Amino acid sequence: MIRERAKASSLRLLRVILLLCRNTSRNKGKYRLLIMQHHFIGDLIFTTSLIRPLHERLKNVTIDYFVNRVSSPIVQHNSLVNYVFIDNTKIHTIVSLRVLATKLIKNLKNVVKAKANKYTHIIDCTGTLYSASLISMIAPSQVIGISSSIVFEEFYDYFKYFWDFGDKKIVYRYTSLLEYFGVFVNSPEYSICIESDKEAEASKLIDVDKTTVLIAPFAGWLNKEWPVSKISEICRLFDKNSTQIFIAVSADDRTRMHILNEQLGDYKNIHFFVGYSLQFVIALLKNVDYFIGMDSALSHVADAYRKRGVIIFGGTRSEICGPLNSNLRVIQSDIECRPKTNEIYCGDNTIAYKCPIKQKCMRLIDPQSVFEIINESTCENNE
């Protein structure tokens, strides 16, 4: 009984928040777009392929972003982005209406400012109950959702009981969204800008007389990661070759980084960067010769800067999440359980899937083969 009352109370609170923020005014005569992607860094990088084409082909367009604090540096310094709303709440699954209401209340200041901008379109690249809630508070004239999940439509069907969203359209690719605005591109490109002082700081670390490689060993999801033993093995191969190696990980990966450090021991050509700012790591990646990583945010950054290197795929489908840049080679195991044509993830096609064979697809990837790809590319570059 108490739980039912709490649920009913949370629902009433949510309804009040949404109704207070209702806005029916419309902005005519120009495109004013809000791109909403408040999840992971890599997902935000995908959306940057929209920025330049929309600016080049549409007249009188303004593009704003709604992102989380961690990924905000990806778009904050882009001159083609007008304003960035930063969501300071933690990224986690909405487990109850109370959690949802709390997150919405903490974002009321952003919502009020966004509502005043009278967006003609909001492009929802997240497709969650949280993003649908925020958008219903801002109330644009049109919502365009990018999603491959029926759940997205269910969220918006839920909120139609509060009021009509206006026109709503679901597309499944960023190129399809561009085509909706009459913009056609043959080869999409990501757009990432960094601070000049970070780039200068990173460039000082580069030994111009050596081949330089940045390795991003962790991806935030076990099914996408190479075993630590494989990472240490490839580091030894590069160290023998007098290659300057930079290993960059987030502060959340300190424990596994400590294990990797213990396995490697003292190697003079290997440099660790743990918990450094995203802007600095991007600047470092921009300055190195090669990149090696998993399907992660930094692999998309390497793609944006047209870096040469290798991306190792396991629990995700490279045809969907793989690089646009042909300089980056994809390596993956052709085993039976890898994601099928219509799937992004392996197993039950969710990021929460726990692999019953302990990431066999990643364990089958040989460090020697990755090393040889980089070595061959270095030889071709020197000729």
Question: What pLDDT does 160 receive?
Answer: 47
Model pTM score: 0.80
Is residue 133 within 8 Å of 145, Cβ to Cβ? no
Task: Calculate what percentage of the chain has a pLDDT beyond 90.
Answer: 31
Largest CA distance in the chain: 76
Mean pLDDT (whole number) for 1-25:
46
Over 50: is that where the pLDDT of 18 sits?
no
pLDDT tens digits, residue range 126-148?
877 788 788 888 876 677 777 54
Over 50: is that where the pLDDT of 253 sits?
yes
Alpha helices by DSSP H, listed for 160-308, are: 174-180, 196-203, 228-240, 254-264, 278-287, 297-304
Other beta carbons within 10 angstroms of residue 156's beta carbon come to: 20
Place of tokens 């590069």: 238
State how far the Cα of 84 lies from the Cα of 34, in Å rounded to an integer: 9
Average pLDDT across the chain, whole number: 80
For residue 165, what are its two tokens? 């969203």
pLDDT tens digits, residue range 30-51?
889 999 888 788 888 988 988 9
β-bridge pairing 212-216 and 308-313: unpaired
Question: What pLDDT does 350 receive?
Answer: 58
Task: Calculate what percentage of the chain has a pLDDT beyond 70.
Answer: 78
Between residues 196 and 5, which one has the greater pLDDT? 196
State how far the Cα of 169 lies from the Cα of 313, in Å rounded to an integer: 32
Is residue 304 within 8 Å of 192, Cβ to Cβ? yes
Is residue 281 within 8 Å of 299, Cβ to Cβ? no
Domains of the chain, CATH where assigned: 2-180 (3.40.50.2000), 196-382 (3.40.50.2000)
Over 70: is that where the pLDDT of 204 sits?
yes
State how far the Cα of 59 lies from the Cα of 298, in Å rounded to an integer: 33
Between residues 355 and 79, which one has the greater pLDDT? 79
Over 50: is that where the pLDDT of 11 sits?
no
Question: What pLDDT does 134 receive?
Answer: 86
Between residues 112 and 220, which one has the greater pLDDT? 112
**Phi first, then psi: what are they for 340, rounded to 5°?**
-80, 180
Q: Is 355 exposed, middle or buried (0-12, 13-18, 19+ CB in 10 A)?
A: middle
